[in-house]
A and B are shown apart, each in its own frame.
Chain A
Amino acid sequence: MKFTLRIWRQRGPNERGGFVTYPVDDVSSDMSFLEMLDALNQRLIVAGEDPVAFEHDCREGICGSCSLVIDGVPHGPDRGVTTCQLYMRRFVDGATITIEPWRAKAFPIIKDLVVDRRALDRIMQAGGYISVNTGGAVDANTLLIGKEEAETAMDAASCIGCGACVAACKNASAMLFVAAKVSHLALLPQGKPERTRRVMAMVRAMEREGFGSCGNQYECEAVCPKQISVRFIALLNREYLRASLTETRLSTRSDSSHGESY
């Protein structure tokens, strides 16, 4: 197969970027999309040119490293897969394919197709955990959790943190990401004691990082490689409302629900 690739090249965070066109031939339909880019890079290196920087690691759709916008769609034309799980047999021979990085204010470009996604980690650090010490846990079966509840929590917990939801959103909102994280813990009994603090802290961190607000367009759900449902956004909104009320009530008292200040 043969393709014409239009790839976004940008030397560094503060440099101007632009599209560069590369013809590739000799592409086998069994190649993955990233293997095709590997082949292009091998050619560029031997020619003494700078290879295209892009992220990848597991190459099986779970680590969340790969992050390409392909013909305008994060992770490309197929639903429910990451870029690394996309195969060339999916494309029409001879096509022109445009490849861009995730674009969002909160994800500055490092080089070419590589962006800085640490903002997502900082949201997690703000409250995306259950604060239990190692060693103090009770027997795991002491806590009974219904199959349905566990499965729903697992649906939310499947998020791979790739950031496609942000890249797909016109407002570059991280709502689906935060919703998945908040819902995972809010749905489980272990997560209940800190739910008020958690949702407030994570939503505030999201705003601080410069992610936009949710416009209810649901492009995020459409591109999510783990098909995380927007109903978790509704759940997040409920959690947030509940927490705001609790917080207002608590702030009239001297201590917070968490026993520490925000």
Chain B
Amino acid sequence: MGSHVITLDPQVPPGPLEMKWDRRRFSGHLVSPANKRRIKIIVVGTGLAGASAASTLGQLGYQVECFCFHDSPRRAHSIAAQGGINAAKNYQDDGDSVARLFYDTIKGGDFRSREANVYRLAQISTQIIDQCVALGVPFAREYGGQLANRSFGGVQVSRTFYCRGQTGQQLLLGAYSALCWQIERGQVTMRPRTEMLDVIVVDGHARGIVVRDLVTGRLSAHTAHAVVLATGGYSNVYYLSTNASGCNVTATYRAWKQGAAFANPSFTQIHPTAIPPVGVHQAKLTLMSESLRNDGRLWVPVSPSDRRPPNEIPPSERDYFLERRYPRFGNLVPRDVASRAVKAICDEGRGVGPGGQGVYLDFSDVIRQQGIDVVRERYGNLFEMYERITGENAYEVPMRIYPAPHYTMGGLWVDYNLMSTIPGLFVIGEANFADHGANRLGASSLMQGLADGYFILPYTIGHYLATVHSPPIPEDHRASRAALERVEVRLKKLVQAKGRQRTAASFHRALGKILWDYCGMSRCAAGLRRALEAIPSLREEFWRDVVVPGSGEAFNQELEYAGRVADFLEFAELMCHDALHREESCGAHFREEYQTEEGEPRRDDEQFAYVAAWEYREGETPVLHKEPLNFEFVQPTARSYQ
């Protein structure tokens, strides 16, 4: 890392909330069309954020070089999003507005996000839907031809747009098609099956990346005038999660080591409704969409010793625990609240199914009241998926569900312009920390990714490029060579023959268990300290014993994977430091020491109304920097869903 000193200037424009984004756009400098042609921008990632950014930048006339580790840009993890995307269109005329979407998101995030960013997100949300329709996204429609909406947890209006259970797929195919157009026009050079392994920083500015060609194994340096990371989230640090198997922290973690502050790394969302794990062979957890909680009721037997099949347990001997604890929102409380309630029940020994890891999600009432056909029409594909995986028919017996790591609110710190603490390094989508505070509401990540990529970054990066002097640098610049060497050394170490033989997956599984136990749905100081002791010794063992067959000079999936696990093994420590220092409970971060008598989280605005941004120091504990959160427009209140 260079001599770079971290300062956290959020760069929020002054003035009324509604005017901030307009003002920024007006005051920003523009790059002339002739100059754009001479400017090269690197975009890493082709999910919703990366594909929308790369295509828009290409269309504006920049030269874009775009990378992803997948074999095709269309396979980014965004493809798997099911439920939908929010927008304050108020097409249902049910009282929605930009202000309400803003408020719901700020409150949903438990007052740990930046007001100006969230407001801008709500403003832009409406344009996203227009843009996607123009690109041919086949959103669900009403008979009259207008767009249809559904509801999601944590809100009381119907503002979610969807394409059956495949919203992420359709939005990504839209952005991918826009990208295809720019590739065809020669504005974007696409490099699939290429993994970014380091950032090149010259005179304090991000000027390129080091990548590995995953087919040939060849390493190379690529330079540019600015670098955009759109590399997604890191829920896979827990080993088992709802994410795709390739999701990782490598890109953002390596940028952290070069000087980009990492914000709120411990803010990780555990989704309440996934299919429970069944054995050690398990490779992933499958999400059952949040929309199921519109009609399904969560319960467990009142008595822990009750081993009867669910259908034989009479209603009076069932505990509908969400309805009991949160009468106002019932089964539709936000994710963090629902997940904790499920965990509390299972910790009491009242869980159902193998290992007591599960609660029932029961549709028998709605089937009785509205008929099986209604349920089949609404959720047929999910019931099928459930049956395929568990072998059980959820029309006849209740589903069993259990929480699973799902989304990471934490990410690289960015200012209002989406620039990290390394000038010229921009971060968009799930990879940044920006808009969701300590908890994300359903259907708002797709919204954020596309807002960042289509509408925000293309403006703010222009201002940076227009105001910075970036002399051309050769690809073999000293900084490039240094970065290449860092990467090479690490890869060599991974493929070296080892004493005892243990696979990367077995280390990953062990790490996941530590984090799930101590830095998962609930955390306490003693547990986090235990994790901080256990992780370094696991890491040491990893470097001593991990076995990676083959060489670095060829297609080698195990080497790719081992490299990601090595980064997780370092990054996990940062998560635990962050969770340990935050002595309050907020959103998804629940510290057992800070709760009310009823077991509800106790937030501490006096001391912790800030973004925790961590700086890397070689061989030392990470250093904490704070960005205070000033709430000018909404007053933080206790976040009650009772």
Q: Do A and B bind each other?
A: yes
List the A residue with the shortest CB-CB distance to B505. A42
Q: Enumerate 24 A-B pairs (CB-CB under 8 Å) in ascending A order.
A: A28-B278, A45-B501, A45-B503, A57-B70, A57-B75, A57-B245, A58-B244, A62-B166, A65-B70, A114-B555, A120-B72, A121-B180, A124-B177, A125-B181, A128-B177, A130-B177, A135-B454, A138-B134, A141-B147, A145-B141, A147-B142, A153-B136, A157-B163, A160-B79
Kindly state whether residue B129 has any CB partner on chain A within 8 Å. yes
Instruction: Please indicate the chain A residues that have their CB under 8 angstroms from the CB of B505 in the complex.
Output: 38, 42
- CB-CB contacts of A102-126 with B at 8 A, as 1s and 0s? 0000000011001011101100111
Q: Is the CB of A134 within 8 A of B131?
A: yes
Instruction: Please indicate the chain A residues that have their CB under 8 angstroms from the CB of B555 in the complex.
Output: 12, 53, 110-111, 114
B547 partner, pick from A46, A116, A128, A191, beta carbons under 8 A: A46
Instruction: Please indicate the chain A residues that have their CB under 8 angstroms from the CB of B74 in the complex.
Output: 64, 121, 161
Given A53-B557, A145-B145, A160-B169, are A134 and B458 neighbors across the interface (CB < 8 Å)? yes
List the B residue with the shortest CB-CB distance to A27. B281
Within 8 A of B (CB), among A7-56: 12, 28, 30-32, 34-36, 38-39, 41-42, 44-46, 48-51, 53, 55-56
Given A46-B547, A124-B177, A140-B133, are A30 and B75 neighbors across the interface (CB < 8 Å)? no
CA of A184 to CA of B174 in the docked complex: distance in angstroms? 11
Kindly state whether residue B379 has any CB partner on chain A within 8 Å. no
List the A residue with the shortest CB-CB distance to B165. A62
Instruction: Please indicate the chain A residues that have their CB under 8 angstroms from the CB of B163 in the complex.
Output: 154, 157
Of the listed stretches B296-304, B384-392, B595-603, B611-619, chain A binds: B384-392
CA of A64 to CA of B244 in the docked complex: distance in angstroms? 12
Q: Is the CB of B281 within 8 A of A134?
A: no
Kindly state whether residue B55 has any CB partner on chain A within 8 Å. yes
Q: Is the CB of B89 within 8 A of A158?
A: no
Given A58-B77, A157-B170, are A32 and B244 neighbors across the interface (CB < 8 Å)? no
Given A28-B279, A57-B245, A120-B72, are A150 and B140 neighbors across the interface (CB < 8 Å)? yes
The 7 closest A-B pairs by CB, nearest first: A144-B145, A129-B177, A137-B134, A137-B130, A140-B133, A150-B141, A57-B244
- CB-CB contacts of A131-159 with B at 8 A, as 1s and 0s? 11111111111011111001101100110
Q: Is the CB of A134 within 8 A of B56?
A: yes
Kindly state whether residue B455 has any CB partner on chain A within 8 Å. yes
Q: Is the CB of B166 within 8 A of A133?
A: no
Of the listed stretches B112-120, B257-265, B282-290, B572-580, chain A binds: B282-290
Q: Is the CB of B501 within 8 A of A51?
A: no
- CB-CB contacts of B200-235 with A at 8 A, as 1s and 0s? 000000000000000100000000000000000000
- CB-CB contacts of B294-312 with A at 8 A, as 1s and 0s? 0000000000000000000
Kindly state whether residue B59 has any CB partner on chain A within 8 Å. yes
Q: Is the CB of A63 within 8 A of B134?
A: no
Residue in B71, B73, B163, B283 whose Cβ sees the most chain A Cβ within 10 Å: B71
Contacts A57-B75, A62-B79 aside, 15 further interface pairs with beta carbons under 8 A come to A12-B555, A30-B279, A50-B550, A58-B245, A59-B284, A60-B284, A85-B385, A117-B71, A121-B72, A125-B183, A132-B135, A144-B144, A154-B164, A184-B138, A188-B136
Q: Is the CB of A51 within 8 A of B145?
A: no
Given A60-B385, A141-B91, are A48 and B547 neighbors across the interface (CB < 8 Å)? yes
Instruction: Please indicate the chain B residues that have their CB under 8 angstroms from the CB of A179 in the complex.
Output: none
CA of A124 to CA of B72 in the docked complex: distance in angstroms? 11
- CB-CB contacts of B161-202 with A at 8 A, as 1s and 0s? 001101001100100111011011000001010000000000
Instruction: Please indicate the chain A residues that have their CB under 8 angstroms from the CB of B183 in the complex.
Output: 125
Residue in A34, A81, A138, A157 whose Cβ sees the most chain B Cβ within 10 Å: A157
Kindly state whether residue A218 has any CB partner on chain B within 8 Å. no
Q: Is the CB of B184 within 8 A of A132?
A: no
Kindly state whether residue A171 has any CB partner on chain B within 8 Å. no
State how many angstroms separate the Cβ of B427 from the closest Cβ of chain A.
20
State how many angstroms separate the Cβ of A19 from the closest Cβ of chain B.
20
Kindly state whether residue A236 has any CB partner on chain B within 8 Å. no
Within 8 A of A (CB), among B55-77: 55-56, 59, 70-75, 77
A140 partner, pick from B130, B278, B455, beta carbons under 8 A: B130
Kindly state whether residue B415 has any CB partner on chain A within 8 Å. no
CA of A129 to CA of B554 in the docked complex: distance in angstroms? 34
Instruction: Please indicate the chain B residues that have their CB under 8 angstroms from the CB of A56 in the complex.
Output: 245
Kindly state whether residue A231 has any CB partner on chain B within 8 Å. no
CA of A147 to CA of B145 in the docked complex: distance in angstroms? 6
Residue in A35, A59, A63, A157 whose Cβ sees the most chain B Cβ within 10 Å: A63
Instruction: Please indicate the chain B residues that have their CB under 8 angstroms from the CB of A228 in the complex.
Output: none
List the B residue with the shortest CB-CB distance to A52. B557
Using a CB–CB distance below 8 Å, which chain A residues touch chain B?
12, 28, 30-32, 34-36, 38-39, 41-42, 44-46, 48-51, 53, 55-65, 81, 85, 87, 89, 110-111, 114, 116-118, 120-121, 124-141, 143-147, 150-151, 153-154, 157-158, 160-161, 184-185, 188, 190-191
Given A139-B130, A140-B133, A150-B140, are A129 and B181 neighbors across the interface (CB < 8 Å)? yes
- CB-CB contacts of B85-126 with A at 8 A, as 1s and 0s? 000010100000000000000000000000000000000000
Instruction: Please indicate the chain A residues that have their CB under 8 angstroms from the CB of B139 in the complex.
Output: 140, 150
CA of A233 to CA of B127 in the docked complex: distance in angstroms? 34
Kindly state whether residue B627 has any CB partner on chain A within 8 Å. no
CA of A111 to CA of B70 in the docked complex: distance in angstroms? 15
State how many angstroms separate the Cβ of B358 from the closest Cβ of chain A.
14
Q: Is the CB of B133 within 8 A of A87?
A: no
CA of A62 to CA of B149 in the docked complex: distance in angstroms? 23
Interface SS majority for chain A: loop
Q: Is the CB of A133 within 8 A of B59?
A: yes
Kindly state whether residue B558 has any CB partner on chain A within 8 Å. yes
Q: Is the CB of A118 within 8 A of B72?
A: yes
State how many angstroms separate the Cβ of A197 from the closest Cβ of chain B.
11
State how many angstroms separate the Cβ of B413 from the closest Cβ of chain A.
26
List the A residue with the shortest CB-CB distance to B57. A134
Instruction: Please indicate the chain A residues that have their CB under 8 angstroms from the CB of B279 in the complex.
Output: 28, 30-31
CA of A248 to CA of B142 in the docked complex: distance in angstroms? 39
CA of A134 to CA of B139 in the docked complex: distance in angstroms? 18
Q: Is the CB of A45 within 8 A of B547?
A: yes
List the B residue with the shortest CB-CB distance to A34. B283
Kindly state whether residue B146 has any CB partner on chain A within 8 Å. yes
CA of A215 to CA of B389 in the docked complex: distance in angstroms? 36
Instruction: Please indicate the chain A residues that have their CB under 8 angstroms from the CB of B502 in the complex.
Output: 46
Q: Is the CB of B244 within 8 A of A129?
A: no
Q: Is the CB of B166 within 8 A of A158?
A: yes
State how many angstroms separate the Cβ of A91 from the closest Cβ of chain B.
14
Q: Is the CB of A161 within 8 A of B147?
A: no
Within 8 A of A (CB), among B391-414: 391
Kindly state whether residue B633 has any CB partner on chain A within 8 Å. no
Instruction: Please indicate the chain A residues that have their CB under 8 angstroms from the CB of B89 in the complex.
Output: 140-141
Given A39-B281, A135-B455, are A125 and B184 neighbors across the interface (CB < 8 Å)? yes
Kindly state whether residue B375 has any CB partner on chain A within 8 Å. no
CA of A190 to CA of B178 in the docked complex: distance in angstroms? 14
Kindly state whether residue B355 has any CB partner on chain A within 8 Å. no
CA of A110 to CA of B141 in the docked complex: distance in angstroms? 42
Q: Is the CB of A50 within 8 A of B549?
A: yes
Q: Is the CB of A32 within 8 A of B173?
A: no
Q: Is the CB of A130 within 8 A of B134?
A: yes
Q: Is the CB of A141 within 8 A of B503?
A: no
State how many angstroms separate the Cβ of B357 from the closest Cβ of chain A.
14
State how many angstroms separate the Cβ of B131 from the closest Cβ of chain A.
5
Q: Is the CB of A63 within 8 A of B388?
A: no
Residue in B143, B176, B388 whose Cβ sees the most chain A Cβ within 10 Å: B388
Kindly state whether residue B315 has any CB partner on chain A within 8 Å. no
Instruction: Please indicate the chain B residues that have their CB under 8 angstroms from the CB of A12 in the complex.
Output: 554-555
Instruction: Please indicate the chain A residues that have their CB under 8 angstroms from the CB of B127 in the complex.
Output: 135, 137
CA of A158 to CA of B72 in the docked complex: distance in angstroms? 17
State how many angstroms separate the Cβ of B234 from the closest Cβ of chain A.
15
Kindly state whether residue B246 has any CB partner on chain A within 8 Å. yes
State how many angstroms separate the Cβ of B145 from the closest Cβ of chain A.
3
List the A residue with the shortest CB-CB distance to B141. A150
CA of A240 to CA of B454 in the docked complex: distance in angstroms? 33
